[in-house]
Amino acid sequence: MNSRTFTKKGRYVRKSSAKSRRWRKKSCTYKHKDACYQLGLMYKNGDKGVRQSHKKAFQYMQRACTLDHARGCYYLALAYEKGRGTKTSLKRALKAHEKACTLGLGTSCNNAGFMHKDAEGTKKSLPKAIQLFERACKLKERSSCYNLGIFYKRGTGVPRSPQMSRRYYQIACDYHHPQGCYYLGVSYIYSKELPTDIPLGLRLFEKSCRYGMSSSCSYLGKLYEQGYNGQNNKKKAKRFFQLACKAKDEKGCLQLSRFHLRHDQPRLAHNILVKSCTRGYPRSCFWLGWLSQQKKLPKSSYKAAISYYKRACKQKETGSCNNLAVLYARGEGIRKSRYRAKRLLTKACSGRFPIACVNKRQLRSPEKMLFDRGFEHLNLQSTCLLGQTKDCYTLAKRYHKGEGIKKNFKQARIYYQKACAAQYAKACFTLGTLYDAGLGGKQSYSKAAAHFSQGCKLEHPKSCHKAGQIFELGLGVKRDYAKAQRLFKKACDLKVQSSCRRLVLFQQ
């Protein structure tokens, strides 16, 4: 109701806010639920000349809820949740949400579903939560449809079903839910269980970007730039990076700056990074420091690099603290100070930055210390995901040897496996050595033999020799001298001297 109301004669007459409030109070006493709800809102927000009073707002919302006003029950539940105008009571909040849900308010169904899922005010009950989410989805509560998509994808409280997951993502996307469109796009591009449709997936990413998910714009730009599945379009890539950056998405701005650098426009890259850094994004400050150190930006110098590193390090950007420490330890562009280097490395290491912890042990030999190389590691991950086999191998090698990142044999196995599956011979050989030595997981001679054999088929000499040794000794596989001899012969033909010597012994 507004400040105009009907008189007895049925004509509109302008009323003052005080008179309007009196009319609403009178209507509320006559069990007019909308009047009670409007009064509750007035006291809740302090509107129309009314002093804010959570206690009075609670009383009127309670009255509206008893008169079956769905929104009244919803705000009553919020009052119980936050303790506004009454004592906090999750149990009563849940009852109010459930009543609003039965009255057809999807938001309350969604909230009640989460309360049952997280055991707030009641015992945990996933079947009840899913029932409420399904009701909310039917009432066009888009976030509930999206949540159901996640539940069916992971098999949380329901049997795992990619088909049902895709169906609910589709409903959420139809209701303009950005994450729903994004994950529906992921399903159409990367699914191994359902039919894929890459052009449709890209269109769904565009929808998600249009509905306000800036990270989706950034990701879409990356796909277009790297030419995923032949969809190479530099103009579109630039446009989506710009949209992400305009939405103040840090990653989008960083991707846009990298785009300009790759297309020989360092000044534009510099301007974008400076704006992003001044907005308070420490990673942009780090990237300015690293590029200034590498002299890839206008007016690059160690002085500029150090100032950006210091700014980012103050904002707890551990990579900047690490790089600044290396400069102090080596005395590059700044006065040498092992004490300051140690303090910075301690700060970065306590922030769980593994390179800093490694560097701390190398303080006496600064030339062995490592810089954080910015996006290099992330680039390898994304290009590996998009099918660049050599990048999967490079990334695996870094995890294996600890080059620029902390050693992680388990991750090394994963990326070697991807490269080997794409017929990269060196990856098959190295993966075999990891299984042989039991690094990054359980030791398995049978898996080692399988990977060495695959490497041998791809004409990798050392793989043939190692496979021959395993079959000769019968480690994890049935001993087979004939097969071992064949493998040694192939390795010898590929100029492995130790295999030639072994072959001579076989012939004797």
The tens digit of pLDDT for each residue in 110-150 reads: 999 999 999 998 999 999 999 999 999 999 999 999 999 99
Quote the pTM value: 0.67
Are 104 and 139 a contacting pair, CB within 8 Å? yes
Q: Which amino acid is at 406?
A: K
Identify whether the C-beta of residue 81 lies closer than 8 Å to the C-beta of residue 98.
Answer: no
Task: List pLDDT tens digits, range 363-399.
Answer: 888 887 877 766 555 556 656 765 678 878 888 888 8
Q: What is the pLDDT of residues 36-48, one digit of tens each?
A: 999 898 888 887 6
The sign of the CA dihedral 262, 263, 265, 271 is negative
Query: Residue 309: which of 336, 275, 334 has the closest Cα?
Result: 334
Q: Count CB-CB contacts under 10 A for residue 458.
A: 16
- Would you state the structure tokens that stand for residue 117, as one six-digit string? 């899922």
CA distance 435 to 438: 5
Q: What would the pLDDT profile of 414-437 be if each residue is shown by its tens digit?
A: 889 988 988 899 999 999 999 988
Report how far residue 52's alpha carbon sits from residue 88's, in angstroms, rounded to the nearest whole number: 19
DSSP codes of every residue in 225-258: HTTGGG---HHHHHHHHHHHHHTT-HHHHHHHHH
What confidence score (pLDDT) does residue 11 get?
A: 41
Mean residue pLDDT across the chain: 87
Whether the CB-CB separation of 79 and 57 falls below 8 Å is answered with: yes
Share of the chain above pLDDT 70, in %: 91
Task: Convert the pLDDT of each residue in 217-236 to its tens digit.
Answer: 988 888 888 776 666 688 88
* CA 16 and chain centroid, separation: 53
**Residue ranges of domains in the chain, CATH in brackets:** 1-88 (1.25.40.10), 278-368 (1.25.40.10), 396-507 (1.25.40.10)
Asked if 350 and 357 count as a contact pair (C-beta separation under 8 A), the reply is no
CA dist 322 and 309 (Å) reads: 9
Q: Average pLDDT, stretch 145-170?
A: 93
Instruction: Confirm if 85 and 56 have CB atoms less than 8 A apart.
Output: yes
Q: Can you tell me which residue has the tokens 């796909």? A: 223
CA distance 480 to 471: 5
CB 116 within 8 A of CB 128: yes
Residue type, 21: R
Alpha-carbon span 218 to 5, nearest angstrom: 51
